[in-house]
Amino acid sequence: MIDRLTEHRGLDSFDIRYVALIIAILGIGVLSIYSVTRGQQGGAAPYYLKQLIWIGLGAAAFLVMWASDYHHLARFAYPAYAFILLMLVFVLFDGRTSKGAQRWIALGPFSFQPSEFAKLILVLVLAHYYSKAPRVGWLQRVIVPGLLVLPGLLLILKQPDLGSGLSFVAVYAAMLLMVGIRSQALGFMLLFSIMLFPFAWEGLWGSLHDYQRQRIMAFVDPEYDPGGKGYHALQSKIAIGSGELLGKGLYGGTQSQLKFLPEGHTDFVFAVFAEEWGFLGVVVLLTLFVALIWLSLEIASKAKDQLGALLAVGIVAMLCFCVVVNIGMTAGMFPIVGIPLPLVSYGGSATIMTMAALGLLLNVKRKRLSLFY
Amino acid sequence: MVTVHSSESEFGDLHRRLFILRVGLLLVVVLLGLRLWHLQIREGPYYRDLSENNRTRLVLLEPARGLIYDRHGVLLANNVPSFSLYVTLEDVKDREALIQQLTDLLGLDPTIVRKKMTAKGSKLLPRKIKDHMTLRDATLVESHRLDMPGVMIQVESQRNYPGGVTAAHLLGYVGEISADQLEKPEFIDLHQGSIVGQYGVEKSYDRHVRGTAGQKSVEVDALGHEKKASVVERPQAGNDLYLTIDVRLQKVAEDLLGQEQGAIVALDPNSGDVLAMASRPGFDPNVLSRELTAKQWVEIVQDEGRPLNNRASQGQYPPGSTFKIPMAVAALETKTMLPSSTVYCNGGYQFGKRLYHDWKASGHGYVNLHNALVHSCDVYFYTIGQRMGIDVIAEFGKDFGLGKATGVELPSERSGIMPSTAWKQKAKNEQWLPGETISAAIGQGYVTVTPLQMASLIGTVANDGINYRPRLVLAVMDRTSGNLQELPAVPRGKINAKPDTFRIIKDALAEVVTKGTATKAKSSMVTIGGKTGTAQVAALRTGPEENIPKKFRDHAWFVAFAPVESPKIAVAVLAEHMGHGGATAAPLAKEIIETYLKLTSQAPAVTSDLSSGNGLGRSSKDS
Evaluated on CA atoms B14, B17, B21, B23, the torsion sign reads positive
Same domain assignment for residues B269 and B235:
no
Examine residue B6 and state whether it is found in any structural domain, yes or no. Answer: no
Q: Which of A44, A177, A179 minimises the CB distance to B183?
A: A44
The answer to whether A291 and A21 are in contact (CB under 8 A) is yes
Active site residue B321: yes
Q: Which of A111, A228, A320 minimises the CB distance to B185?
A: A111
- Measuring CA to CA, how many Å separate A41 from each of A31, B78, B293? 17, 30, 22
Radius of gyration of chain A from Cα atoms? Answer: 21
Q: Do A228 and B13 touch (CB under 8 A)?
A: no
What is the predicted pLDDT for the residue at B605? Answer: 44
* CB neighbour list of residue B11: distance below 8 Å, 6 or more residues apart: A305, A306, A309
Q: Check if B7 contacts A (Cβ < 8 Å).
A: yes
Helix axes A162-179, A114-132, angle to 10 degrees: 10
What is the predicted pLDDT for the residue at B611? Answer: 37
Mean pLDDT of all residues belonging to chain A? 80
Q: Is the pLDDT of residue A4 over 80?
A: no
Same domain assignment for residues B452 and B538:
yes
Element (H, E) at B343: strand B343-345
Q: Check if B1 contacts A (Cβ < 8 Å).
A: yes
Q: Which of B14, B51, B228 minimises the CB distance to A238?
A: B51
**Active-site position among B84, B279, B321, B619:** B321
What is the predicted pLDDT for the residue at A183? Answer: 59
What are the E-state strand segments in chain A?
A: 96-98, 101-107, 110-112
The answer to whether B524 and B593 are in contact (CB under 8 A) is no
Q: Do B185 and A109 touch (CB under 8 A)?
A: yes
Domain map of chain A by residue range?
Answer: 2-372
Alpha-carbon gap, residue A321 to A318, rounded angstroms: 5
Evaluated on CA atoms B50, B51, B55, B59, the torsion sign reads positive
Alpha-carbon gap, residue B72 to A11, rounded angstroms: 75
Same domain assignment for residues B348 and B485:
yes
Examine residue B84 and state whether it is found in any structural domain, yes or no. Answer: yes
What is the predicted pLDDT for the residue at B305? Answer: 82
- Mean pLDDT over residues A92-102, rounded? 61
Alpha-carbon gap, residue A271 to B39, rounded angstroms: 12
Q: Check if B192 contacts A (Cβ < 8 Å).
A: yes
DSSP, collapsed to helix, strand or coil, labels residue A225 as coil
For B62-119, the pLDDT digits (tens) are: 888 999 999 999 999 999 888 888 887 777 878 888 888 888 888 888 888 888 787 7
Domain boundary pick from B220, B243, B266: B243
Nearest to B285 by CA among B199, B392, B220: B199
| Mean pLDDT lowest among A57-66, A139-148, B472-481, B544-553 | B544-553
Q: Do B17 and A178 touch (CB under 8 A)?
A: yes
Domain boundary pick from B243, B263, B294: B243
DSSP B275: E
Torsion angle in degrees (nearest 10) through CA of B466, B471, B475, B478 = -130
Examine residue B37 and state whether it is found in any structural domain, yes or no. Answer: no
Same domain assignment for residues B306 and B353:
yes
Same domain assignment for residues B442 and B406:
yes
Alpha-carbon gap, residue A217 to B496, rounded angstroms: 66
- Mean pLDDT over residues A111-118, rounded? 84
Q: Which of A242, A257, A292 to mutate to test the interface with B (most CBs of B within 10 A)?
A: A242
B543 pLDDT band, cuts 50/70/90, is: low
Note down the domain range covering B232: 58-243
What is the predicted pLDDT for the residue at A6? Answer: 47
How near does any CA of chain B get to the CA of A66, in Å? 23
What is the predicted pLDDT for the residue at A170? Answer: 85
- Mean pLDDT over residues B549-557, rounded? 81
Same domain assignment for residues B340 and B436:
yes
What is the predicted pLDDT for the residue at A93? Answer: 77
Of all residues in chain B, the percent with pLDDT exceeding 90 is 42
- Mean pLDDT over residues A39-61, rounded? 81
Q: Which of A238, A288, A304 to mutate to test the interface with B (most CBs of B within 10 A)?
A: A238
For B155-209, the pLDDT digits (tens) are: 888 899 999 899 999 999 998 887 778 777 778 777 767 889 999 999 999 999 9
- Mean pLDDT over residues B334-362, rounded? 88
DSSP B41: I
How near does any CA of chain A get to the CA of B292, in Å? 21
Domain count for chain B: 2
Examine residue B163 and state whether it is found in any structural domain, yes or no. Answer: yes
Nearest to A261 by CA among A272, A251, A252, A250: A272
The residue ranking higher by pLDDT, B203 or A139, is: B203
DSSP B403: T
The answer to whether A270 and A237 are in contact (CB under 8 A) is no
B7 pLDDT band, cuts 50/70/90, is: very low
Q: Is the pLDDT of residue A192 over 80?
A: no
Q: Check if B226 contacts A (Cβ < 8 Å).
A: no
Which residues does chain A have within 8 Å of residue B188's beta carbon, measured at their own beta carbons? 96, 98, 104, 111
What is the predicted pLDDT for the residue at A106? Answer: 63
Please name the residue of chain B whose CA is at the shortest distance from the CA of residue A98.
B189
B24 pLDDT band, cuts 50/70/90, is: confident
What is the predicted pLDDT for the residue at B623? Answer: 31
Same domain assignment for residues B184 and B266:
no
Q: According to DSSP H, which parts of B470-554 are helical?
A: 499-514
What is the predicted pLDDT for the residue at B3? Answer: 38
Q: Do B124 and A258 touch (CB under 8 A)?
A: yes
What is the predicted pLDDT for the residue at B604? Answer: 46
Same domain assignment for residues B226 and B172:
yes
Q: Do A240 and B32 touch (CB under 8 A)?
A: no
Same domain assignment for residues B456 and B561:
yes
* Residue B222: CATH number of its domain: 3.90.1310.10
Same domain assignment for residues B263 and B301:
yes
The residue ranking higher by pLDDT, B180 or B432, is: B432
Mean pLDDT of all residues belonging to chain B? 84
The answer to whether B518 and B558 are in contact (CB under 8 A) is yes
Alpha-carbon gap, residue B269 to B489, rounded angstroms: 11
* Confidence (pTM): 0.62
Same domain assignment for residues B520 and B578:
yes
Phi, psi of B381 (to 5 degrees): -75, -30
What is the predicted pLDDT for the residue at B61? Answer: 79
- Measuring CA to CA, how many Å separate A259 from each of A242, A274, A281, B188? 15, 16, 22, 19
Same domain assignment for residues B478 and B381:
yes
Length of chain B measured in residues: 623
* Residue B451: CATH number of its domain: 3.40.710.10
Alpha-carbon gap, residue B26 to B11, rounded angstroms: 23
What are the E-state strand segments in B32-150?
A: 56-61, 68-69, 75-87, 127-133
DSSP B239: P
| Rama region for B196: left / alpha / beta (φ>0; ψ in -120 to 50; rest) | beta
| Mean pLDDT lowest among A46-55, A336-345, B215-224, B495-504 | B215-224
How near does any CA of chain B get to the CA of A35, in Å? 15
Which residues does chain B have within 8 Å of residue A99's beta carbon, measured at their own beta carbons? 189
What is the predicted pLDDT for the residue at A9? Answer: 54
Please name the residue of chain A whose CA is at the shortest distance from the CA of residue B41.
A244
Alpha-carbon gap, residue A233 to A216, rounded angstroms: 10
How near does any CA of chain B get to the CA of A80, in Å? 26
